[in-house]
């Protein structure tokens, strides 16, 4: 057995849910992450809603632990900078410690609901959460293009999600480089076939591969 495989077998296994409004992302198994200062092996599930007995907030913003009826102790990520001390969401969660609580997103991914003991607290999110953990990070070599469908634009255009022939991947802007296109122009290409490459001075460059319809002559 290879050393890496042996180390992976020795890792603690945890179940994780990433809250997302997306319905196209399958669960991922064998995802290595760093949790509570140790490397763990995760099975990561997508979920628009999850219910369990609230245990505690995690050290990372927007994450918490609950006891799920089927999965046992469960780590839940919203991938948003929320659950700050003293806010309404945290108060609702702390009041439900040891009791059932439901976290859910609306169909746009921009509204988070916490329901405990029949009471509902809503948190408005400016943008849908980036589905970290459900999508792998990809690398682009200079001179090599990536093609696929643009699925999402995050971090003001600095992170792009491309559905390639090998599955969905995140591609990020290189540190210290300028964006080759604005967030607005990138969002206009969501759902279209695109080509992605590192352009001038390492800027992440996005180009639509779809032919725009031509307007006919008038008169």
pLDDT score of 52 = 96
The candidate with the shortest Cα–Cα distance to 191, out of 45, 7, 43, 24, is 24
Average pLDDT over residues 16-32: 91
Given a cut of 90, is residue 38 above it in pLDDT?
no
Does 2.40.50 match the CATH number of domain 136-208?
yes
- pLDDT winner (highest mean) among 144-153, 193-202, 203-212: 144-153
Mean of the per-residue pLDDT values for the chain? 85
> What is the rounded (10 degree) CA torsion for 169, 104, 190, 25?
40
**What is the predicted pLDDT for the residue at 12?**
86
Share of the chain above pLDDT 70, in %: 89
Q: In the prediction, which pLDDT does 219 show?
A: 43
Band (pLDDT 50/70/90 cuts) for residue 3 is very low
Residue 147 has pLDDT above 80, yes or no: yes
DSSP string, the chain: --HHHHHHHHSEEEEEEEE-S-SS---EEEEEEEETTEEEEEEEEEESEEEEEEEEE-SSTTEEEEEETTTEEEEEE--SS---TTSHHHHHHHHTBTSEEEEEE-TTS-EEEEEETTEEEEEE-SSPPP-BTTBEE----TT--EEEEEEEEEGGGTEEEEEETTEEEEEEPPTT---SS-HHHHHTTTTSEEEEEE-GGG-EEEEE-SPPPPPPPP-
* Residue 14's pLDDT band (cuts 50, 70, 90): very high
pLDDT the model gives residue 215: 52
Q: Which residue has tokens 């409004």?
A: 21
- List, for residues 49-86, the tens digit of each pLDDT value: 999 999 999 988 899 999 999 999 999 999 999 988 88
Residue ranges of domains in the chain: 3-124, 136-208
Model confidence, pTM: 0.82
29 contact partners, CB below 8 Å, separation of at least 6: 43, 44
What does the pLDDT look like over 85-132, one tens digit per residue?
888 888 888 888 999 999 999 999 999 999 988 889 999 998 888 898
pLDDT for residue 15: 95
Q: Which residue has the higher pLDDT, 211 or 94?
A: 94
Q: How confident is the model at residue 20 (pLDDT cuts 50, 70, 90)?
A: very high
């Amino acid at each position: 057995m290879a050393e890496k495989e042996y180390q992976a077998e020795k890792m603690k296994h945890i179940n994780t849910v990433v809250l997302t409004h997306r319905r196209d992302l399958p669960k991922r198994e064998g995802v290595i992450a760093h949790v509570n200062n140790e490397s763990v092996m995760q099975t990561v599930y997508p979920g628009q809603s999850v219910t369990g007995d609230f245990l505690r907030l995690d050290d990372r913003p927007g994450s918490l632990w609950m006891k799920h009826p089927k999965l046992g102790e469960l780590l839940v990520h919203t991938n948003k900078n929320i659950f700050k001390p003293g806010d309404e969401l945290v108060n609702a969660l702390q009041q439900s410690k040891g009791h059932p609580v439901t976290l859910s997103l609306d169909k746009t991914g921009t509204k988070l609901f916490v329901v405990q003991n029949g009471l509902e607290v809503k948190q408005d999110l400016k943008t849908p959460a980036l589905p970290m953990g459900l999508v792998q990070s990809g690398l682009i070599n200079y001179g090599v293009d990536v093609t696929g469908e643009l699925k999402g634009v995050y971090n003001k255009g600095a992170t792009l999600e491309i559905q390639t022939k090998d599955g969905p991947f995140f591609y990020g802007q290189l540190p210290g480089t300028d964006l080759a296109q604005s967030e607005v122009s990138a969002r206009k290409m969501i759902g279209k076939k695109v080509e992605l490459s590192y352009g001038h001075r390492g800027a992440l460059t996005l180009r639509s591969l779809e032919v725009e319809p031509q307007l006919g002559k008038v008169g």
